[in-house]
Amino acid sequence: MRRFSLWLRGKPLVADAMLAVALLLVDLVTIGHKRYLAVYLVFAVIVPIPVIFRRRYPRTSAAALLALALLTTLVSRLVGEDLQVSALVAVGIALYTLVAYVGRREGLIYLGGLIVDAVLVDLLLHESVPITVAFLTLFYALCWTLAEFLGARHAYDTEVAARLAVADYDRERGAHEAVSAERTRIARELHDIVAHAVSVIVVQADGAKFALRSDPDAAEQALGTIAATGRDALRELRRTVALLRTEHAPEQLPQHGTAGLAKVVQMMRSAGLAVELELTGELDDVAPEVSLGVHRIVQESLTNTFRHAGPAPKAWVRVHRRDADVLVEVTDLGHGAGPLAGAANDAAGPDLAVRNGISGSGLGLVGMRERVAVLGGALEAGRRPEGGWRVRATIPLVSDAAE
């Protein structure tokens, strides 16, 4: 029965046709010993027909039923026999339909027409006035009440459907934004890993090529740095891909505390960049995303220094945990092109670095700004008045998103 009801709900014409057949059956059951059987059967067939289209054309159907009710009253007066059997029920259905599907204003107008029909019934058929008035009042009040209830239910269902549509849209938009944010995060992580390693490898390879004949020991050291950097980058890429393929609890994610910063600094020192590291405050118990942000900022800043600071580069890294945030400051001397690239430039010209791709894509600084912005912090980068380059970032310990 529930499946049949749901099926009928989607096919109003079929449901109303079944209602019209029910009205016809009521007339056939009450046919009794009518003298004008043919006239009675004609009205029994004609009156239910507008009911079939009551929801598709509610105004036209209601007007047709009211006209048939008036005609039935007049014909009943002419033949001297009451033919009003299904007509009374049909006009009640029309009143219900107008109030529920069209509006109260149309329902009130139609109720006025029904009152006119009731007056004609009293005048022409001489029915008992108190009984007729009481019955019609009760019947029409019931039809109106049911229509109001159904109208309220329809309005509620419509509002629920609208809210569900909005919720579905918000959920889809949120999922799309989450995917976009995750793509940006993955791109930033891969850039930080690959760009750092490739920059060191390219600079060391150029230096090894330049020093291969004149200083074999320096070339061997550069090749060792290239191999170590490549292994570290490959390890980072494997770890990142593993994290993307599997679900990890927050405590299982890689931590980048003081040990990670010391490792980055040591690797840059091995590559030929003099770095002084200053760490103050408890940096190992900050949130993982803040720790990772500090790690990437230091790594990218030192990579840029190594690429662009000129011969005999030197950098100072200061990471200080304060009450509400972490201050990261990386400064360098900044004399020009990269250290080994600068030596190569003496022999091969000033455009060697650009040709070899050492000049960079400019995405490193953009990535640092995006990372700090996501964490709710601020980043400043630019040349110092006394010379060199400085990157200064403040990262809140508790981001606005977390709050």
- 270-319 pLDDT tens trace: 777 889 999 998 888 888 888 888 988 998 888 888 877 777 788 999 99
| pLDDT value, residue 234 | 75
Mean of pLDDT values over 132-146: 83
Measured in residues, the chain has a length of 403
pLDDT, one tens digit per residue, over 308-355 is: 777 778 899 999 999 889 999 999 986 654 443 333 333 333 333 332
**Residue 266 above 60 pLDDT?**
yes
Alpha-carbon span 353 to 349, nearest angstrom = 9
Task: Give yes or no for a contact between 121 and 136, defined as CB atoms under 8 angstroms apart.
Answer: no
* Residue 371: closest CA among 311, 301, 276: 301
| pLDDT value, residue 32 | 66
**Residue 254 above 60 pLDDT?**
no
For the chain, give the mean pLDDT.
Answer: 76
E strand or H helix that includes residue 383? strand 378-383
* Residue 320: closest CA among 346, 299, 298: 298
* Residue 281: closest CA among 312, 321, 245, 308: 321
* Residue 37: closest CA among 71, 70, 68, 83: 83
**Residue 97 above 70 pLDDT?**
yes
- C-alpha of 253 from chain center: 27
Block residue for tokens 């007049």: 74
**Residue 382 above 70 pLDDT?**
yes
Task: Give yes or no for a contact between 83 and 93, defined as CB atoms under 8 angstroms apart.
Answer: no
**Residue 48 above 80 pLDDT?**
yes
**Residue 393 above 90 pLDDT?**
yes
Say what the pTM is: 0.42
